[in-house]
Amino acid sequence: MNKFLESLYNHEYNFVAMERALISNPDWAKLVRNEEYEKIKIFTSKDLEELI
């Protein structure tokens, strides 16, 4: 088993799945805190292009 999977199974990561949400929505925490769920964008590969 590789180091990442071993760490994952040992519960060393809390928000592995959050990466895509944060790439698409840098203000994700604010949107959730304010219950503005309808403003949260779905991740697309185009979002990665905007980072580069």
Spatial neighbors of 32 by CB under 8 A, at least 6 apart, are 40
Domain ranges for the chain, please list them: 17-51
Determine the pLDDT at residue 36: 95
28 and 36 Cβ atoms separated by less than 8 Å: no
This prediction's pTM: 0.58
Q: What is the mean pLDDT of each run of 10 residues along the chain (52 residues)?
A: 77 72 90 94 85 71
